[in-house]
Amino acid sequence: MKHVPKPTTDADLIKEFLDKGGSVKKGKTKPMPADLGLSNNQWGNKLTKEEKAAVKAQEEAAKKAAKK
């Protein structure tokens, strides 16, 4: 099957959008929740109470070490 490119390409559409007064902006995203697991076997699973307590204890220890 022979592929014939369409007369309107992505570059043409973008150029036309910008010529009409459109603008390109960098979007803002929310930071990911800290309690979401990011490893392959835990993707999207939230931390248990024990795991949350362990993370909180590590953060507090790091803050105390930084103050000294």
**Could you tell me what percent of the chain has a pLDDT over 90?**
9
Dihedral over Cα of 32, 34, 36, 38: its sign: positive
Amino acid at 13: L
Tell me which residue has tokens 């603008």. 23
- Note the pLDDT tens digit of each residue in 3-23: 776 666 788 888 888 999 988
Q: Give the Cα separation of 30 and 45 in Å (integer).
A: 18
Across 47-58, average pLDDT = 86
For the chain, the domains span: 40-68
Amino acid at 49: K
pLDDT score of 14: 85
Residue 14 vs residues 5, 20, 24, 51: alpha-carbon distances, Å: 17, 10, 10, 48
Q: Is the pLDDT of residue 45 over 80?
A: no
